[in-house]
Amino acid sequence: MPAMPNAPPVTPQPSTGAQQPRVLVVDDEPTVRMVARLMLERTGYVVEEAGDAAAAVARVRAAVRSFAVVLLDVTLPDRAGTELLPDLRNHAPGARVVLTSGKPEEEFPDHGADGYLPKPFTKEQLLAAVRAVTV
C-alpha cells in the first residue's frame, strides 16, 4: 500500500513477547514441533520446544514467565506424556495441558489433561485446542 503524502512513515514496533501467551510444544518428532511452532507463532503465540520429558521439565522450571499451554505428546522417548503430566502440573500449576497423539483419546482414559488433540492436526484444530483451554 503506497504511503500517503505528508503522512509520517509507519515504523513497525518490535514485539517483545511480553504479553503474548506462551506455549511449550513437547514432542519427540522435530517436524511436528516445528510445524506446531510455526502455526502458533503466526497467530501471535510465543513458542518454545522440547523433544523429551527431561527437556520439558527443564524448560518449565527455567521459565521466567510461565507457559499458558503445554502441548504434550503421549509418546516421548524417556517417559510417557501421561506420566509427565503430574510433574508439569507441579512445576507449572497455571499451565493448561493439551495431550496429543495419533491414537484415539479413548485409549487414554482419565489422562488428566485439559484437552486432547489427535494427530495429524490442522492449524485450525491446533488453534481451537489451545484456545479452548485458555478461555
Using CA of residue 105, residue 110, residue 111, residue 117, what is the dihedral sign? positive
Using CA of residue 104, residue 71, residue 34, residue 12, what is the dihedral sign? positive
At residue 19, the pLDDT reads 73
In this structure, are residues 81 and 108 in contact, taking their beta carbons and an 8 Å threshold?
no
For residue 105, being part of any structural domain is answered with yes
For residue 124, being part of any structural domain is answered with yes
For residue 59, being part of any structural domain is answered with yes
For residue 80, being part of any structural domain is answered with yes
Q: What is the pLDDT of residues 31-88, one digit of tens each?
A: 999 999 999 999 999 999 999 999 999 999 999 999 999 999 999 999 999 999 999 9
At residue 118, the pLDDT reads 97
For residue 6, being part of any structural domain is answered with no
The CATH number of whichever domain residue 67 belongs to comes to: 3.40.50.2300
At residue 58, the pLDDT reads 97
Supply φ then ψ for residue 9, to 5 degrees: -65, 145
For residue 31, being part of any structural domain is answered with yes
For residue 26, being part of any structural domain is answered with yes
Q: What pairs with residue 116 in β-bridges? A: 99
Mean pLDDT score of the chain: 89
At residue 20, the pLDDT reads 86
For residue 5, being part of any structural domain is answered with no
Kindly indicate the confidence band of residue 114, based on its pLDDT and cuts at 50, 70 and 90: very high
Kindly indicate the confidence band of residue 24, based on its pLDDT and cuts at 50, 70 and 90: very high
Residue 9 has pLDDT above 60, yes or no: no
In this structure, are residues 59 and 24 in contact, taking their beta carbons and an 8 Å threshold?
yes
Domain count, the chain: 1
Range of the domain at 75: 22-134
In one letter, which amino acid is 32?
V
CA distance 87 to 90: 5
No. of H helices and E strands in the chain? Answer: 4, 5
